[in-house]
Amino acid sequence: MRLLVVIASLSPRWGGTTPACLNMCRELARRGNRLVVYTTNAEVGGLLSPIPKGGQMDGGGFAIRCFPVSHPWFLPARAYLYSSPLSRALAQTVRDYDLVYIFSLYRFPSTIACWSARRAGVPYVLNPHGSLDPYLYRIRRWRKALSEGFVERPNLNQAAAIHYTSQEEADLTRPLGLRAPSLVVPLGLPLEEYQPLPKGSRSLPLPAGSKVLLFFGRINFKKGLDLLVKAFGEIARRMPEVVLVVAGPDNEGYGTRVRGWLREAGVENRALFTGMVVGEEKRAWLSQSDLFVLSSYTENFGIAVAEAMAMGLPVVISDKVNIWQEVREAEAGLVVPCDAGRLAEACLELLRDPARGRAMGERGRRLVEERFSLEKTTEMLEASFRQLVEARRTEDRSGAAFHPAGLIQ
């Protein structure tokens, strides 16, 4: 297949969409698909990264074309990521592809990609990346309502399919009454990159004899860090050897509030902020931690949870992380409501019982191998894409609507 993928930014600081996109593209290309990614030079906080000469990069088996963003006077927000060169490129090339896969909503790259694909009669799959979750849906509601009436509702309803990364994410959107078929396929991990390192194989700035409670992800309001700090205050009182490690980028300055809460709880000196970690450094932290925690108020999938499980870590997560049912059924960790007291008790339970934690970690690794390996999830996506492409060709030949079976619900 000839596939075009459109994503607003590939900056690692944008969070889970970047690795999700790159992993998916590499595996699709490895499977013999011809694939190109269109993106912009947008960075966090309105910053722009330099565009490579010719505007093109090698993604490792596929091409990445990078387009400059601008801020015209008639657009109220820089975060919209307007790019007239991207618009022109889509108009000129979108007909060359069998299918367009588009990440996220409420930004110009996704909006113009949907419109261009519809205009050219090319089927497109839209991945909302959790932006339709009721918790996030309420934020800037008036602005979203204005955008939806004219832009996003048609984009969603006329998609060949909407790709949800968990059944829970799909279920949460049902009150919206969207007409497009749902495609539920989880995110996948390249398991060869998630092999634990031996304890102590890499020197990390930790007190001797400490137990490590690890949060890994963007430092953002939706991650439930207010709950985690309250819980950690109780954990630290009852287990003085526990250290909280907060690993991830602070894009919006939210870390200042988190540090303030830690100071108020009297445990600021027991917490370590690493900033963004990638590659071997990330693997080292995951390998040398005792427990992973994610108390998010909303999480369309929870790729950091899957990463922790892939590394054999037991997890404690909120029931708003949308793979909580899989974690509970596999007995790979503990699931709690968004409540600081319940969170603290669950963490203490596993920190005090290392053998139980190790057993959960082993089951978590098996869960990822069975359900969330990149090879398996991409195989499912590719099969669905082929169904959608064939459906459009059948419609074009017969003039009648064709509804593919299988993964399209």
Q: What is the pLDDT of residues 78-136, one digit of tens each?
A: 678 999 999 999 999 999 999 999 999 989 999 999 999 999 999 999 999 988 888 87
Longest dimension (CA), the chain: 71
Tokens 């027991």 map to which residue? 270
Q: Are residues 231 and 261 in the same domain?
A: yes
**In this predicted structure, what is the pLDDT of residue 162?**
97
Residue ranges of alpha helices (H) inside 212-251 are 225-238
Separation of alpha carbons 297 and 38, rounded Å: 31
Cα–Cα distance between 409 and 182 in angstroms, integer?
A: 5
CATH (domain of 42): 3.40.50.2000
pLDDT of residue 150: 53
Q: Are residues 146 and 210 in the same domain?
A: no
Residue 70 within any structural domain of the chain = yes
Write down the pTM of the prediction: 0.92
Can you give the residue range of the structural domain that contains 315?
191-371
- Answer yes or no: are the C-beta atoms of 79 and 71 closer than 8 Å: no
Q: Can you give the pLDDT at residue 406?
A: 46
Average pLDDT of the chain is 91
Give 269's contacts (C-beta < 8 A, 6+ positions apart): none
* Total tally of structural domains belonging to the chain: 2
In a domain, 393, yes or no: yes
Contact between residue 82 and residue 75 where contact means Cβ atoms under 8 Å apart:
yes
Q: What is the pLDDT of residue 133?
A: 86
What single-letter amino acid sits at 181? P
Rounded to whole angstroms, how far apart are CA atoms 267 and 196?
29
pLDDT score, position 250 = 92
The Cα-based distances of 356 to 99, 176, 333 in angstroms read: 46, 41, 10
Q: Is the dihedral of CA 131, 132, 135, 141 positive or negative?
A: positive
Answer whether residue 236 is part of any domain: yes
Same domain, 349 and 382: no
In DSSP terms, 39 is beta-bridged to 66
Q: Is residue 403 part of a domain?
A: no
> Do 317 and 197 sit in the same domain of this protein?
yes
- Give 358: exposed, middle or buried? Use CB within 10 Å, 0-12, 13-18, 19+: middle
> In this structure, what token pair is assigned to residue 324?
């909580």
Length of the chain: 409
Contacts of 373 (CB under 8 A, 6+ apart): 188, 189, 191
The proportion of the chain whose per-residue pLDDT surpasses 70, expressed as a percent, equals 90
Q: CA nearest 323: which of 303, 347, 341, 338?
A: 303
Region of residue 267 (phi > 0: left; psi between -120 and 50: alpha; otherwise: beta): alpha
Measured in degrees and rounded to the nearest 5, phi and psi for residue 370 equal: -85, -35
Which pLDDT does position 138 carry in this prediction? 66
Q: Would you say the C-alpha torsion 281, 60, 159, 381 has a positive or negative sign?
A: negative
Residue 409 lies in a domain: no
User: With a cut of 50, which residues of the chain have pLDDT below it?
Assistant: 146, 402, 404-406
- Tally of CA atoms within 13 A in the half-sphere of 108 that contains its CB: 24
CA distance 382 to 74: 39
* Residue 407 maps to a domain: no
Residue 62 — left, alpha, or beta (φ > 0 → left; ψ -120 to 50 → alpha)?
beta
Whole-angstrom Cα distance, residue 299 to residue 281?
A: 24
**Residue 352 and residue 379 share a domain:** no
Partnered with residue 37 across adjacent β-strands are 5, 64
Within this chain, do residues 30 and 152 fall inside the same structural domain, yes or no?
A: yes
Do 137 and 118 reside in the same domain of the chain? yes
d(Cα 166, Cα 224) in Å, to the nearest integer?
Answer: 20
- The pLDDT value recorded for residue 143 is 54
Contact criterion met (CB below 8 Å) for 307 and 189: yes
The CB density around residue 281, as the number of other CB atoms within 10 Å, is: 15
Question: Is 272 in contact with 243 (CB distance < 8 Å)?
Answer: yes
Buried b / exposed e over 34-55, threshold 16 CB at 10 Å, is bbbbbbbbbebeeeeeebeeee
181 and 54 in a single domain? The answer is yes
- pLDDT at site 186: 97
